[in-house]
Amino acid sequence: MAKEKVLITGGAGFLGSHLCDRLISEGFRVIAMDNLLTGDIQNIEHLMGRTDFEFLHHNVSNYVHIAGDLKYIMHFASPASPIDYLKMPIQTMKVGSLGTLNCLGLAKAKKARILIASTSEVYGDPLEHPQKENYWGNVNPIGPRGVYDEAKRFQEALTMAYHRFHGLETRIVRIFNTFGPRMRLDDGRALPAFISQALRNEDLTAFGDGSQTRSFTYVDDLIEGIYRLLLSDYPYPVNIGNSEEITIKEFGEEIIKLTHSKSKIIYKDLPKDDPRQRKPDISLAKKELNWKPEYTRVEGLKSTLEYFKKKVLC
C-alpha cells in the first residue's frame, strides 16, 4: 500500500526539517518544498535518497503543482526572524499572502487538510498578558515589524475564509519562541546570538534594559504539539509554547552560566515595536490536544548547546 503524502513548505528550515523527520517517522511520504532563502539544505541532507522523501527547490509564492494525491499540507515557508524579514520585507509579505493562497488552493484541489504556521507575533506588543487565542493583538501595521506581523494576520484571515467558504479542513498553530538543534547561528534572535557569543567569550548583546520577557519552547515539544493539532478536529488558532517566562537579562545570565563563559551582558537600544512581554496561555492546547511542554528550558538548552558547539567551535 502506497504511503500517504504530506507537503511541507519551508521544509529545509529549522522547524520544517524537524517536521519532515516527524512525519516520516509516522509513516508518511514527505515532500519538502523550499527556495532556500532562509532554509539550509544541510538540515535535510540525512533524508536525501530515501524513498519516502522528496525535495523540491521551489518558491511557494509562485504557482505550486504536486502530482497525485495529498493527505496534508503544512505551510511553514517564511522568513521568521527580525533580521530576515527586515532584510526581505517584500518576500515575507508575498509568502504570507501569495504563498498561503497557493497552498490553500492546492489543498482545495487535492481535498487535503492544511495546517498553517502562524506566530505569537500576531499579538504584536501585547496589552493582554498572558496571551489567549481570543486576544486580537496590538500591532503597528506600518512599523518595520508589520511586514511579518500583518503577513501572518492576513494568512490567518485567508485560511479561515477558505474554511468557512469552501469547507476546507484547516488548522492554525500560533508558534511562540522555539529553540533547538538546526537553528541558524546568524538567526538574529536572542538565543542563537547569546549562545554563539558566549561560546566565543564575546559580550552578549541584549536590547533595551533586559527587562522584557520571553517564553522559550524546546523544538521537540513544539513538533509534538503541531502533530497533535494536525490530527485534531480543531480548525481555529491554537497557541503552542512554553508558559515559563524569563527576562532577557536572566536568560543571558543563564546562558553564561551554562557555557561557563567569561562574557558579560551589554545593552543596546530596543528596536522599534519590539514586544515588552510574551507568554502564551496554553489552556486551549491542553484542552483540545491534551498537550503541554515536557522539556524544561535548561534540558532543552543542553542539547541545543551541543549542536552550537559543533557549529561555533569547529
- The residues annotated as belonging to the active site are 148
| Residue among 267, 234, 262 at smallest CA distance from 248 | 267
